[in-house]
């Protein structure tokens, strides 16, 4: 089976990529796997920056870190739930995954575990120069993954 994976950045709802992934899974008659990879260090980095600029003290920083982590995870769970409901309404079986870690490593593991044939990676729209300079990083994932990888630019 060659399932379809869509990798979604946290706190984004990439309409075109989601619809493309649903349509592809539906057309092929396979499962859609939706994935959001959370950066486990994001909340701590934000809290540290706020502490360093004197916006808050270290004790408050720990509380802020907890709140940011909770919101970050909660927003991702809500997004995955909305996408799952949408895919199911269109008759597509879906598995929603929320993982923490390095995006490339998580994607490689999920691609193997869920027998992914095509992975749609959502990227932010960048200038032509930024796209040109970052092609080498994007090109490493297909070789690592062992499946077709499509980059979907979203605003």
Quick: pLDDT tens for 86-108.
999 999 999 999 998 888 888 88
Q: Kindly give the confidence (pLDDT) of every residue in the chain, 155 residues in length, as a single tens digit, with 9 standing for 90 and above.
A: 699 999 998 777 889 999 999 999 999 999 999 999 887 765 556 556 555 555 555 555 566 667 777 787 889 899 999 999 999 999 999 999 999 888 888 888 999 999 999 999 887 665 555 545 554 444 445 444 578 888 887 76
pLDDT score, position 102: 84
pLDDT score, position 46: 59
Q: Hey, where are the domains in the chain?
A: 3-154
> What gap in Å lies between CA 56 and CA 45, rounded to an integer?
14
> What gap in Å lies between CA 80 and CA 70, rounded to an integer?
15
What is the 3 state secondary structure string of the chain? CCEEEEEECCCCCCHHHHHHHHHHHHHHCCCEEEEEEECCCHHHHHHHHHHHCCCCCHHHHHHHHHHHHHHHHHHHHHHHHHHHHHHHHCCCCEEEEEEECCHHHHHHHHHHHCCEEEEEEEEECCCHHHHHHHHHHHHHHHHHHCCEEEEEEEC
Please state, rounded to an integer, the average pLDDT across all residues of the chain.
78
Pick the CATH number of 3-154 from 3.40.50.300, 3.90.580.10, 3.40.50.620, 1.20.1260.10: 3.40.50.620
């Amino acid at each position: 089976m060659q399932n379809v994976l869509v990798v979604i950045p946290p706190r984004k709802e990439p309409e075109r990529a989601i619809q493309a992934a649903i349509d592809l899974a539906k057309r092929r008659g396979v499962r859609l796997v939706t994935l959001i990879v959370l950066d486990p260090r994001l909340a701590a980095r934000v809290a540290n920056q706020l502490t360093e600029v004197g916006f808050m003290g270290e004790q408050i920083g720990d509380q802020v870190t907890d709140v940011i982590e909770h919101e970050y995870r909660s927003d991702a769970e809500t997004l995955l739930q909305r996408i799952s409901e949408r895919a199911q309404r269109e008759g597509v079986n879906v598995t929603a995954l929320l993982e923490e870690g390095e995006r490339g490593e998580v994607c490689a593991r999920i691609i193997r575990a869920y027998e992914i044939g095509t992975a749609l990676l959502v990227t932010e729209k960048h200038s032509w120069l930024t796209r040109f300079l970052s092609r080498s990083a994007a090109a490493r994932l297909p070789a690592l993954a062992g499946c077709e990888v499509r980059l979907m630019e979203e605003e």
